[in-house]
Amino acid sequence: MSPDPRPRTVLDLPKWKAEGHRLVMLTCYDAAFARLLAEEVDILLVGDSLNQVIAGQETTLSATLDQMIYHSAAVRRGAPGALLFVDLPFLTYQVTVAEAIRNAGRVLQETGADGVKLEGGQVMAETVRALVDRGIPVMGHLGLTPQSVHALGGYRVQGRSPAAADRLVDDARALEEAGACATVLELLPTEVARRVTAALRIPTIGIGAGIGCDGQVLVLHDMLGLNEGFAPKFLKHYAELGASVRAAVRDYAGEVRAGRYPGPEHSFE
């Protein structure tokens, strides 16, 4: 069997871009799913989206560092060989560079992750450089940045004006120059995302940013159809597990109530 060609360290990411390989990234929040995803997915991301998907909150803003560490450690146990990134939650990296170093270092120390992801462009370049200089790989995040959802006026497409598109290119270049190994581009017009991608040597990973990015990411529960009722334009359901779960639970409940489960084959005599 030939060796697995997928990226195994952050140093592989720009090589993949240069060679034209498209990166596959999915969010993941537990060991069970990590085991299922590790065979096919290039990068696992423990996103602060877990605050919405798992904890039922309206936004990502109340996610905590302890929460991220708990889930990230579980994912690492489920996929010990995967390339794993972890979102730094709101206010764990924006206040001071020293806090960002301490909190990002704690993530790597306590989870075994390969790097962290943070939101913001030029304003975060100093922080990105400080983390990278201390041996902490960083993935950026531009466009719709969920931790700034209130300042952005909601979950809406960014970069529509020429000036906004220019700022995104400048932000992406600033992240690259600061040492970021990749950046997520969220909710951007296709041509703007393509322009940002062309301006960088590091890969871009799109979500709602069209086909021109170097890779794609989706929230796992969204693409599996578990987040019922959530259907933005960019999302494709690759399964309808919400309906499957409902049907399975309905069958189980019916058999229990009818006295058909457990049967002799499930019982100890």
Give a yes or no: residue 5 inside a domain. Answer: no
pLDDT of res. 1:
36
> Do 42 and 155 have their domain in common?
yes
- 218 is in which domain, residue-wise? 12-238
pLDDT of res. 229:
87
Give the total number of structural domains in the chain: 2
> Do 63 and 124 have their domain in common?
yes
> Do 234 and 258 have their domain in common?
no
Q: Annotated catalytic sites, by residue? A: 186
Mapping DSSP onto H, E and C, the string for the chain reads: CCCCCCCCCCCHHHHHHHHCCCEEEEECCCHHHHHHHCCCCCEEEECCCHHHHCCCCCCCCCCCHHHHHHHHHHHHHHCCCCEEEEECCCCCCCCCHHHHHHHHHHHHHHHCCCEEECCCCHHHHHHHHHHHHCCCCEEEEEECCHHHCCCCCCCCCCCCCHHHHHHHHHHHHHHHHHCCCEEEEECCCHHHHHHHHHHCCCCEEEECCCCCCCEEEECHHHHCCCCCCCCCCCCCCCCCHHHHHHHHHHHHHHHHHHCCCCCHHHCCC
pLDDT of res. 8:
82
> Do 103 and 115 have their domain in common?
yes
pLDDT in tens, the chain (269 residues): 334 567 789 999 999 999 999 999 999 999 999 999 999 999 999 999 999 999 999 999 999 999 999 999 999 999 999 999 999 999 999 999 999 999 999 999 999 999 999 999 999 999 999 999 999 999 999 999 999 999 999 999 999 999 999 999 999 999 999 999 999 999 999 999 999 999 999 999 999 999 999 999 999 999 999 999 899 999 999 999 999 999 999 999 999 999 999 999 999 98
> Do 17 and 115 have their domain in common?
yes
Q: What is the pTM of this model?
A: 0.95
